[in-house]
Every structure is written in C-alpha cells, then in structure tokens.
A and B are shown apart, each in its own frame.
Chain A
Amino acid sequence: MRHAIHSVFKAAAEAVLPPLSTSQFGEKGVLTPSEFIQAGDFLVRTCPTWSWEGGDPKKKRNFLPVDKQYLVTRGVPCTRRASELETYDPNSEFSISGYGDEWVATHSDPHASHDRTEHIPSIDDTGPSQGGKGDDAIPDLSELEIQEEDDEAALPMSELMKTRQDGRNIQAVAYKTAVEPEDTILRTRTYDLYITYDQYYQVPRFWLVGFDESRHPLIPEQVMEDVSEEHARKTITVEPHPNLLLSAASIHPCRHAETMKRLVDNMLENGGSFSVDHYLLLFLKFIASVVPTIQYDYTMSVGH
C-alpha cells in the first residue's frame, strides 16, 4: 500500500518538477538526462552488446532524445538460479561490502514478498507451450502435428538447449537423454536487460525481462529466482516499464545515488579518476552483485 501511494506521489512529482539540469554526480551520485545520454553513449561504444532504443512512441519521455530513451542488451544467458550459487557470500559483493545493508533496504515489505516467492511454481510445471497437456480449451492439438520430411541437416533441438555445468556445449554426437544425469543439464534462461532513466531519483534504473529455456516470457516472480536472495526480497519491485507496455522486475533506485556516490568516492580515494562517461560502467558492476548469475559483461575497467 505504501508502495502504491509512493508511486502516485512519484508520478505527480515527475509531472511537476523539471528534470535535473545541473550536474551533481560528484556531490550526490545523481545524473542529469544529458549526462545519462553521455554515459550511455560511452557504454554503447565500449560494450557493443548494449544499444539505445526509442521504445513505444506513446511513452516517450520528452527530456530524452526520441531514439535514446533507454539502453538494452538482449538474450543474456543465465544458467543457474541465484540460490544455487554455492560460493555466494553476500558480504563479498563487489566493493560495497559493509554497506550492503544500508542500500538494500527499501519501503517494500520483506515479509509480503517472502511469502510470495515461496509459492513460485517451478519452471517445470509452468511450462507454457506444452501443447495440449491439460488444456481444456484446446483438446485436439496433437492431430495438428506436421509431418515434415526428415531433415538430416538440422541439429536436433535437444542438443541446442542443453549445456553442461561448465558452460560448454555438449558436443552434438549421439546424445542420449535417458542416460544423462539430470543435474548436468542446465535450464538456460535468457534475459533482456534495460537501463532507463528515473526522473524522480535522477539515476539510471535497471530492469529485467526474462525468458525460460523454451523462450517463453518469465513472469516477474520467476525473475526473482535470478536475483541474489538478499536483494530479491527487499530491493526488487515489479512495476510498469516506463517505455514499454509491460510490467517488469526492476531494482528500486531509491538508494542508487548514495551507492554510486560511495563507489565513486572509493575510487577517488584509491587514487583513480572518474568521469561521468564511466557512470554506467560502474553502475553495471554494482548491479552485478544483485543479479549474480546473469552473464552480461561488467568487466570493463573503469576510472583510468
């Protein structure tokens, strides 16, 4: 409920208040829209998997260029659920160790989301496109099966979807599903990751849109499985995406500015330099601690 009220307040405030116009990233860790564009351009140049998009024209934000409304990288694999990370230690996250507790706390009620996560059905029983199975509306599906000519040049689907735990593809030779132990087969999800600009908090905001191994969209609750447990219950909220017509899981930006300020200060203390160009690179390193299993590239060096 607090969350709903806050959303309304935030929307009202955004409608009335002008976007930030003077640079304050040094003092407060926030960005102006033009600095967001500058940092985004740098990210796109440095790491070509990211690109700008314009999104739904009806949802255009006027303070950003029409073709640079948000950043996106698509089809990023995620082979393990965050809870399976054996070596995961919340205190070892990136360089903000010790600050972790401070920035993750938000207004969302941890107990409420806790209850919800426990009822998440496993991917096996939500499998969407299992044609015909238990679907009353569509009774005679299997009659539809197309008899296509044998195609000796096509690699069977089963060989595409299976990856070994070490991340390497199983060689496409005489693969026997029955003998393969279940735990060496990974269910590789893919993610589209978005970075938008949050006008109210004046920081970038990170969104996760996921797909399961058969490329069916994940519901936001399933996305929680790929967020480190520490954050899943506190910092991730499901909200309408500002540029797209859907609700998606997002890392709530209320503490981003503080965290970014701290990261920049750390870097300066250690004798580095920092320009606003590098803001998003640093931001992505920080995000990597929240979504430890999503394999996007956050290894670019920052601040040299």
Chain B
Amino acid sequence: MDSTSASHFPALKFAPLQSRFDVQFWSELAERKLDRYRLSEEPVPLHGTFSCSRYVEVGSQLCLDGGSFELDHHCSSNSTSSAQAGQHLVKGTGRLYNTWENFRDGSDKAELLKEAAARVWKDILSGETESTPELLSQFTVLCYADLKLFHFNYWFGLPALKPPSPFLTSPSQSLEEYFGTDASKKVAEACDAWLRQSPGHQLVEQPAQGGESTSVCEMAASQLSRTDVNTPHASPFAWMLSYCISQEDATLPQESCTGLPGIMARLACQPLAALNQLSASSDGSTVSDGSTVSNEQWMLAFSDHSSVSGHPGWVLRNLLLMIAVRYPLVKSMKVVCVRASKTGRVDPSRCLVLTVQLPAVPDGWCQGPGEVPEAVGWEPNAEGRLLPRKVDLSPVMSPTLLAEQAV
C-alpha cells in the first residue's frame, strides 16, 4: 500500500467502551466505604470485565459488579466472578470521595486521566502490554456516594492515547466476505477456541460441519504462560491469527473477492507477543522470500465490544498505537474485529476485517521524562456532555422502602 492511496482512506472511528455499574457494585462500595475505607480517599484497585459484542442491537459493556473490588483474592477465594470464558479483564483505579465538594473540586480531572494514560504509556514502551494485553486499557473512576440517600455520583474514564496522526482504514468487510464461507468458519472456530480457553474450562468440540476436520484450530494456549495472565479470567482480549495458503490449494476456484483460496492450510491463534515475528516484513502480512513456508499471513484479532457496523471498539485504539510505536516497520495491519452471535459463538458474518494504515511514529516520540501522548476518554453523561453521572438507588437499597415492599 503506497502512501498516495493511503491518503484516500478515512480516519478510523472507534465506538467507546461504555461502563456499566450494577447495583451490586454500589452496595459493595457503600459497605466498604462504611466498614473499611471510612474517611480514606486513597485510590482503590478495581476491575471490570467485557466480552465481545453478542447482540446486533447493543454493544458489549464494561461491567463492574460486586466482585470488582476483589482483584487480589480472585484466584483463591470465592468472590463473585469466577473464571469465565470469553470475559476480558480491565483493571482500573477508583477514588471514593467523602464529600460532594471533594468530588467536585478535589482533583484535576484532566490530570487524573493523564495519570491513567501515563501508566498505559509506560507499559507500552516497556513492551509489557505485549505479554499482558489487558494493560492497554486502564480506567479511572471517581465516586461520591451519599449513603443516606443512596445516591451515587460517578465519573468514568478509559484513556485512549492519541497517535501522532489518525489511524486510517480501508472500508471494512465482514470476515465472511473476506475469506469466503468455508474458510471464515474455520477462522471463527479458531477464535472461539481462543476465547474459550480458560484454566478449568472444558473446551467443547463442536461436531464439524460436513465432516471437515477441526484440527486446523491449532491452539497456542500452551505457549501462554499462565503467570503472565495472573487472573483466572479467560484469554487476553487481543491475539494474533496466522495462516498459510497451501500451494496445492492455490489452483482451487477462488471464492472470495480478495482472491484468497477458500481453504487455508494452517490456522493458528497465538499470543500477541507473536507480533515480533512479523517485524521482518514491511506490511505485516506477507514475507515472500520464495521458500515454501514463506506465505504465512498474519492478522491482528481482538474481542470487539462494538456492535456498530464498520466501527471497531475503543480498546483497539491503544492496541494499534502500541503496534505503531513498538513495530515501526509495520505500516499496515489487517485487523479482525471478533464479534459473536447471540448464542455466544463467534459469528463470521458479524466479524469485521479492516486494513488499518498505521501512522509513522517519529523516533523518541513522547518518550522524554514525564511526556505522555494526549489522552481522551472521560465518559459523557446520558445527555452526551462531559459531566458526572448519578444513580439513585433508593428504590432498591433503602431499608425503609424495602421493608414496605416486603409486606
């Protein structure tokens, strides 16, 4: 892809990952504020989970629930969220203010988002995000709870670092359009297997359609050291997909408009760290040195929470920036936005394939001490303004109302 044609591509727009705090979260917060944190306004570690989009009507959300406070005890104790396939962890920090005034004036909001962004940036530069992709998304929540009225005010921010120039993209295709029916099914199966690998979770073999072997879904789970993931949650939200077009199949009728044969020889999902294998090639897709194993193709895959056609989810932003910063030789990247149907299985007709042009990142860009790329990501309120949200939970939490209800 030369630069003249790249300039015709539109800038890629991302659908924000929306936060969703359930009643459990607030009741746990109320209890902890009273019994444990008391007057402390120190940041507390939190986490939430999201899955890939499963419904056409609405994107997947970042859910914070009663277990969101229990990160450290996750592995050992019986906290709310046990190991769940298909769920991805997003960690963050919560600040629980004692008064409305502190919530309003206590801290510089821009500074707080910048702090969260700085953590992400540090992890990108150190290469940490390649072994632990969840570090690419780190949120900040500010809360003020009026525990007498059961009113909760909060502000959620998930920072996205802005690249030197926007990511550009070709028009998206569905996975089905891109690979053709048969091959896209195999890719979807491989992604399903990746998403559902989880310690203690039984991988279910689906009967292969038309007697095809499913062994092409070569799992790379073993390559992933469990200590890297350090949570019982399922696989990282981003991974690499590699496949070869076998030579003998090249003569088969070409099924897809991109000219790929309908059948792929070798298909594997690999941890994101496999990125380093494509630094040798300039466009991240093909190495053509003439040898037989050279036609290996690489695609970036991620669990896409967005349900908007043509637009990937927010979590891809920092991921793409990481690749642009860490692998400057990779100029463009094929991205599979993995989405499922309402059965929970990856649906080739909903998955998007994008060809993203990565911006050139100048050497040493934003790498000086204290330098962080600009970050955006405060969540707007229901009216679309950058203001805090408020939840009134007196109907479900107030003891007086509950007592009335019980009669």
Contacts and interface: CB of A to CB of B under 8 A. Distances in A.
Given A75-B60, A131-B381, A167-B56, A152 B16 contact: no
Interface string A239-272: 0100011110000000000000000000000000
Interface stretch (A103-111, A142-150, A197-205, A225-233): A142-150
B61 interface: yes
B354 to A, nearest CB: 13
Contacts of A26: none
B387 interface: yes
Nearest to A299: B343
A1 B406 CA distance: 8
B402 interface: yes
Contacts of B365: none
- Interface majority SS (helix, strand, loop, mixed), chain B: loop
Contact of A217 (B11, B23, B378): B23
B376 A149 contact: yes
A53 B81 contact: yes
Interface in B156-175: 160, 162, 166-167
Interface in A19-54: 45, 47-54
A121 B363 CA distance: 58
B396 A246 contact: yes
B284 to A, nearest CB: 21
B317 A57 contact: no
Nearest to B16: A154
B78 A45 contact: no
A79 B57 contact: yes
Contacts of A247: 396, 402, 405
Contacts of A135: 390
A168 interface: yes
A75 B55 contact: yes
B82 A54 contact: yes
Nearest to B397: A246
Interface stretch (A85-93, A94-102, A158-166, A282-290): A158-166
B79 A141 contact: no
A77 interface: yes
Given A145-B386, A247-B405, A54 B12 contact: no
A163 B57 CA distance: 6
A145 B196 contact: no
Nearest to B376: A151
Interface string B42-84: 0000000000001111111101001000000000011111101
A185 interface: no
B80 A56 contact: yes
A303 interface: no
Nearest to B144: A138
B345 A155 contact: no
Nearest to B87: A51
**Chain A, interface size: which category?**
35 or more
Chain B interface size, as a band, is 35 or more
Contacts of B18: 160, 215
Contacts of A45: 202, 204
A14 interface: no
Contact of B77 (A7, A57, A129, A220): A57
Contacts of A152: 11, 13, 166
Q: Dominant SS at the A interface? A: loop
Of residues B58, B160, B384, B387, which shows the largest number of chain A Cβ atoms within 10 Å of its Cβ?
A: B58
B259 interface: no
B378 A148 contact: yes
Contact of A129 (B13, B27, B341, B389): B389
A53 B79 CA distance: 9
A302 interface: no
B14 interface: yes
A138 B381 CA distance: 15
A178 interface: no
Interface string B368-407: 0000001010101111111111111101110000100111
Given A75-B20, A153-B317, A171 B309 contact: yes
Given A75-B20, A131-B385, A245-B27, A54 B78 contact: yes
B22 interface: yes
B57 A295 contact: yes
B196 A154 contact: no
A215 B81 CA distance: 20
A55 B27 CA distance: 13
A82 to B, nearest CB: 16
A297 B343 CA distance: 6
B350 to A, nearest CB: 11
A30 B181 CA distance: 43
A130 interface: yes
Nearest to B395: A219
A4 interface: yes
A67 B110 CA distance: 40
A157 interface: yes
B311 interface: yes
B241 interface: no
A67 B382 CA distance: 35
| Complex A-B, nearest 3 residue pairs according to Cβ-Cβ distance, in ascending order | A48-B344, A214-B382, A49-B344
Given A45-B204, A138-B100, A168-B309, 8 more contacts: A137-B100, A149-B376, A155-B14, A157-B380, A160-B308, A171-B309, A171-B310, A246-B23
Interface of B: 11-16, 18-24, 27-28, 54-61, 63, 66, 77-82, 84-87, 100, 104, 109-110, 146, 151, 153, 160, 162, 166-167, 196, 202, 204, 307-311, 314, 317, 341-345, 374, 376, 378, 380-393, 395-397, 402, 405-407
14 contacts: A54-B82, A75-B60, A129-B388, A137-B100, A140-B104, A144-B387, A148-B376, A153-B12, A160-B16, A186-B57, A240-B402, A245-B23, A245-B24, A246-B23
